[in-house]
Chains A and B, each alone.
Chain A
Amino acid sequence: MAIASVAHTGPAAPPPAPAGRSRSLTPYLLLLPGIAWLTIFFVVPIVTLFGTSLQVPAEGGETGVFVQAFRFANYVDAVTEYWAQFSRSFVYAGIATVLALAIGYPLAYMIAFKAGKLRNLLLVLVVAPFFASFILRTIAWRQILADEGFVVSSLKWLHVIPQTATVTASAVAVVAGITYNFLPFMTLPLYASLERIDPRLLEAGSDLYGNGFTVFRKVTFPLSLPGVVAGTLLTFIPAAGDYVNAALLGRQPGTAMIGNVVESRFFRIVDYPTAASLSFVLMAAILVLVFLYIRKAGTEELV
């Protein structure tokens, strides 16, 4: 719904405003409270985050007391020390995004083209899991994927996985959890872009080529690319910053992601500058990746 519409709220569609209103104060008055809220509680915090990231411990050596400085070396220290968690975050998020795309694409395709009257119902069902608490669902997966549980023992009995394999507290469990939790973010934009494809194009395609796979490769898939881009970003961004899956399904420090480090630096170790520089680097890295990805994928329809 909203997530899907993120994908296709076009680039600032020119509003059909009557010319007389164009110079009025009304739009500014309408914008003021909302934009002020975002400025004070989103833009300003990003600035204080940056400020905090350059702080140094106070002279007295007391824990949790820092003074403002401009120590850019904080960034070097933080990134060098937590390079493993950074790369792990991006690798886990990347694998989970690819898996979600592989699972979500056929699902979105099925809903868009084969569901008939059930379309709306199925769409509701895709988002429905969100209503049962995110944390509870993750805990449920921990129990379902437990080594002594039904799923893992069946897979071992069928020799799909080796007898010695452990899933509990492994990277596999973390990636599985991330994939599951963000799958609807992938499926909805995919559906939104597939649903808009004119079926006559597909018919024309099959009239010209005949082969179903060629039609898919040359017509359907290219037309669904905006959905692929939007879905990939909507999955990858929250996945890279997530720490709940790594905390509940993985083991520390073996599967710790960057979010886990930020969390523990803030609350357990009380090292605000490191936590702030790590957050800032994460944000910058994601923005750069998003920018490159959008340029490469060539879709302008995102913002």
Chain B
Amino acid sequence: MTTTVTTPGGTAGPRAARPAPSAPALLRARRWLGRNALRIYGALAFAYLFTPIAYITVFSFNDGGRSNLVWRGFTLKNWANPCGAPEVCSAVGNSLKIGITATFIATVLGTMVAFALGRHRFRGRTATNLVLFLPMATPEVVLAASLLTLFLQLAPIGIQLGVTTIVIAHVMFCLSFVVVTVKARIAGLDPRLEQAAADLYATEWQAFRRITLPLVAPGIAGGALLAFSLSFDDFIITNFVSGNVNTFPKFVYVSAQRGIPAQAYVIGAFMFFLALTIVLVADIVRRRRAPK
């Protein structure tokens, strides 16, 4: 592609300045800048995106005591003993438990809905799409407030705020994201593959088990990963419907008043690098398997 497209970020070099053999250094620098402005911009933008991550990672090694606000020297003890600060690990444990349960339910239900939408004709498609779209278009605080009013009204029949209500809420807001992810994968499938299976006398169920499901699996895995990260990281809705149960984001938010222990930074940095590794390894595996 040889187009010279200028973008708001780019300052394309003046056209008149064609490369002359003895172009002054300043002009050459300017031309280089013009050609690479967008790349430089990209590097700056990524630096911006990763600034807080760098901060979190650096301060996870801080020997900073309880509040971890000023740099007091390098230590590995936070990483060696992430449960060293009270409540950190029980909060993370709750978050994992809730995240896994909510992800499992949302992935199963969402995949079923995605198959109905992607593979079947039925009445009420528009209404279904609307019910799926609205939770994504509603601010979290509204979802949180409305669920809380429901749970408060159900309190007399024994519904208490806690792990169950958190899981209910998480499944609710993760479901649509799973549907969207899986549906995109189903839409990208070649329908001829299933027809081929049918031509080879596979029953509908066999074709689904052996052909469709394995092909959709990456979409389901992507939806599940997304659901888990949404659930694990959710604060606003969780804060409203959790009662006394502590989760990791809630723990960090509450400790923000008196200072967050370095162990919380360890958890944050660890989750970041773990997720990055998973995504990158999955990408490498996918590329290796892809036909050359």
Contacts and interface: CB of A to CB of B under 8 A. Distances in A.
Contact of B142 (A33, A121, A137, A241): A241
A41 B50 CA distance: 36
Nearest to A36: B109
Nearest to A217: B6
Interface stretch (B16-24, B77-85, B131-139): B131-139
Contacts of A41: 147, 150, 168-169, 171-172
A38 B38 contact: no
Given A126-B49, A137-B52, A237-B137, A42 B256 contact: no
Interface residues of B, number: 107
B175 A206 contact: no
Nearest to B232: A133
B258 interface: no
Contacts of B206: none
Chain B interface, >50% SS class: helix
B269 interface: yes
A27 B177 contact: no
Contacts, number: 317
A139 B252 contact: yes
B42 A282 contact: no
A213 B240 CA distance: 49
B183 to A, nearest CB: 6
A130 B233 contact: yes
Contacts of A110: 9, 38-39, 41-42, 45
Contacts of A34: 109-110, 112-113, 175, 179
Nearest to A45: B146
Contacts of B132: 38
B226 interface: yes
Nearest to A128: B276
Top 6 A-B pairs, shortest CB-CB distance: A241-B139, A106-B9, A140-B52, A27-B120, A45-B146, A212-B6
Interface of A: 1-2, 5-6, 9, 12-17, 21-22, 24, 26-28, 30-31, 33-35, 37-39, 41-46, 48-49, 51-52, 102-103, 105-107, 109-111, 113-115, 120-122, 124-126, 128-141, 143-144, 180, 183-184, 199, 202-203, 205-206, 212-213, 215-216, 220, 233, 237-238, 240-244, 248, 258-259, 262-263, 266, 272, 275-276, 279-280, 282-283, 286-287, 290, 303
